Amino acid sequence: MPRTRSGQTVNLKGGRPQADMSALGRALRRLFAYYPRLAPLTMGCILFSAVISSIPSLFIQNVIAIIERWYSTGDWASARPEILHYVIILAVLYVLALLSTTLYTQLMAIMTQGYLNKLRQELFNEMQTLPIRFFDTHQHGDVMSYYTNDIDTLRMLISQSLPTFIQSGAIVLVVLGIMLYFSVWMTLVLLLGVVAMFYVTKTVGGGSARYFVKQQQSLAETEGFVQEMMNGQKVVKVFNHESESIAAFDRLNDALRDNSYRANAYANILGPIINNIGNILYVVLAIAGGVFLLTGVPNVSLSGSAFSISILVPFMNMAKQFTGNVNTLSQQINQIVMASAGAGRVFKLMDEQPETDEGYVTLVNVVENPDGSLTETAERTGKWAWRHPHGDGTLTYTLLKGDVRLTEVDFAYEEGKPVLHDVSVFAEPGQKVAFVGATGAGKTTITNLINRFYDIADGKIRYDGININKIKKADLRRSLGIVLQETNLFTGSVMDNIRYGRLDATDAECVEAARLAGADDFISRLPEGYSTELTNNGANLSQGQRQLLAIARAAVADPPVMILDEATSSIDTRTEAIVQRGMDKLMEGRTVFVIAHRLSTVMDADVIMVLDHGRIIERGSHEKLLAEKGTYYQLYTGAFELE
């Protein structure tokens, strides 16, 4: 492919890329793993076409020898059969070369894209299995650059560097062999020049690679700055801060230009230098050849033939071919350095520890028999039960009710920095449990533990009496609906977004869920109603509207337990009241955990937990807590700030 799509904008932080040869090997081995037959076949074709296209020089030499023998006679008729003989062999070789070239270039096109596709999908699938911890500790931009920049460097590796290496490498070897066949002396002269080329490639090419790394760092810095400024552009306008931010941008932009200039200048210079070393070498060879011819130095060669003009001419052509290919090889240096770094990063992601799941209790549909026992069924009955296989081979079914109990739970995100201490929460089916407390008090952490985004350090969490560690994560999470403060919507229609909560929900069910969530009103006023396409995380909706959609999405899933983490923070109080009514209807007989900043949202909870530094310091109903005149009372009267 003729262009680097985004290969020049690797989002590099710190010291990347470092050449990582083992990653490079892994990337190549993967090609053979993906294409166990096609890859060797392609490599074979490349090799074949490389070898076969360097042989003709031999025949050209023969033809010229014949011409030399006959040209003084001027007798074309006698020379013709001999010449034609070689020309026909040549033509046959060319046809073969052409066929193998056509074959391998087509195969390369298929394999390169297939390789990237497989790698991309493998990476994506691997990423889906990673624990939330990974996403909490990595910048999104960084994760994205695995897919864009790092995979892109591998595209260049597979589609360009690899064939070039095989081809040019093979040609270099074959031509070297042929040259030795003709004359060892001449070949030695040539190799002297090659040493010079290697030296130049190492210094100039190395310098170029070094500055390419710097260029990437500069680019990442500039990108970061631009991102910050573009996000805050309105603030810049309000403060008339335009000229200052241009000045700051200029500094980064100029540094980027400097590094980019050096990197490209080195890279651009390498070609002409190698090329002209080749030219000078050509002259040196011609003179050396002339000297050999004139002085009649005994030729040492594999062929044993004497030195003559019929050797010198093809030798010179081969020398040109030889240096040309060395030049081609040297041009790949930057590509390979970048690819090895890219491969290193891609494999580092693939090697991340996936989320583990030893759960064996699953969620199944059941019908309740007249005697109260449960029978599993494949149909959707609206009744769910935990299917619990026991060690002794028996199987029990427990009706899904939504009873969640945390007992003496301790937890730390990082070893030695405990976030929750001895937290016990009992939520009975149908109860509304609210968490109140400052930022960092551990409210969201508790919900992270219930759905096992993180695992507890000590204590117990039971769901309908079953230890949640025994429940399959997917089934556990299916039974919990979560609505987060930060709403994430997907590209697709409004209907698709609601249906995300339950993929087999009918349109009518989705609309009903939207109505319950209080979202139906604004959706029907959108230009295309439920078919309105959302892009860019629903950028055309207000924050409050997006939250309403997220609530509808959770509602359609119809889970026995709901977690609302600041789910109505961006909805004004009047609309919130409407949502509240819908939610109350929706959550009848279900367990709800609510985290809210606005106390009016949590006042009607059955029990309110006040958290402080990872401990529950107060618990009880609104009235009870007010009567206690403790922290909650102070919060309520505005004496404390909730942050």
Partner 1 sequence: MIKTLAKSLREYRKPALLTLVIIMGEVFFEVLIPFFTADMINMIKDGAALSEVLLLGGKLAVMAVLSLLCGAFAGRTCAQASTGFARNLRRDMFTRVQAFSFENIDKFSSASLVTRMTTDVSNVQFAFMMLIRTAVRAPLMFIFAITMAFIMGGRLAMTFVVVVPVLIFGLLMIARKALPAFRSVFRKYDKLNESIEENVRAMRVVKGFAREDYEKRKFAAAADGICADFTRAERIVALNMPLMQLCMYFNMVFILTVGARLIVSSAGTLIDVGQISAMLTYGVQVLMSLMMLSMIYVMLTISAESAKRISEVLVEEPTLTDPAEPVAQVADGSIDFENVSFKYSEHAKNYALSDISLHIDSGMTVGILGGTGSSKTTLVQLIPRLYDVTEGAVKVGGVDVRAYDTDTLRNAVSMVLQKNELFSGTIRDNLRWGNENATDAELVEACKLAQADSFVQSFPDGYDTRIEQGGTNVSGGQKQRLCIARALLKKPKILILDDSTSAVDTRTDALIRAGFKSFIPETTKIIIAQRVASVEDADLILVLDNGRIADRGTHAELMQTSEIYREIYQQQTKGGEDNA
Measured between its terminal Cα atoms, the distance across the chain in Å is 53
Handedness of CA 175, 177, 181, 183 (dihedral sign): positive
Asked if 520 contacts 469 with a C-beta cutoff of 8 angstroms, the reply is no
Would you say 51 or 269 has its CB closer to partner 1? Answer: 269
**3-state secondary structure string, 140-154?**
HHHHHHHHHHHHHHH
CB of 334 to partner 1, least distance (A): 13
Distances, alpha carbon 189 to alpha carbons 29, 185, 277, 297, 319, in Å: 38, 6, 13, 15, 10
CB of 21 to partner 1, least distance (A): 27
Distance CA 469, CA 585 (A): 31
CB of 360 to partner 1, least distance (A): 16
Would you say 282 or 530 has its CB closer to partner 1? Answer: 282
- The answer for residues whose C-beta is within 8 angstroms of residue 86's C-beta and 6 or more apart is 59, 62, 63, 66
- The answer for residues whose C-beta is within 8 angstroms of residue 611's C-beta and 6 or more apart is 435, 436, 437, 441, 442, 443, 617
Would you say 198 or 249 has its CB closer to partner 1? Answer: 249
Would you say 20 or 523 has its CB closer to partner 1? Answer: 523
Would you say 123 or 367 has its CB closer to partner 1? Answer: 123
Asked if 354 contacts 122 with a C-beta cutoff of 8 angstroms, the reply is no
- The answer for residues whose C-beta is within 8 angstroms of residue 621's C-beta and 6 or more apart is 605, 606, 607, 608
Would you say 20 or 447 has its CB closer to partner 1? Answer: 447
Handedness of CA 172, 178, 180, 182 (dihedral sign): negative
Sole residue written with tokens 């995380």: 537
Asked if 554 contacts 592 with a C-beta cutoff of 8 angstroms, the reply is no
Would you say 32 or 71 has its CB closer to partner 1? Answer: 71
Would you say 25 or 239 has its CB closer to partner 1? Answer: 239
Distance CA 270, CA 295 (A): 37
CB of 194 to partner 1, least distance (A): 16
CB of 91 to partner 1, least distance (A): 6
CB of 627 to partner 1, least distance (A): 11
CB of 54 to partner 1, least distance (A): 13
Distances, alpha carbon 403 to alpha carbons 428, 463, 480, in Å: 5, 6, 11
CB of 109 to partner 1, least distance (A): 4
Would you say 426 or 633 has its CB closer to partner 1? Answer: 633
CB of 309 to partner 1, least distance (A): 4
17 cis-preceded (ω within 30 degrees of 0): yes
CB of 299 to partner 1, least distance (A): 15
Would you say 395 or 539 has its CB closer to partner 1? Answer: 539
Distance CA 430, CA 438 (A): 26
Encoded tokens for 437 = 């407390």
Asked if 436 contacts 621 with a C-beta cutoff of 8 angstroms, the reply is no
Distance CA 357, CA 349 (A): 19
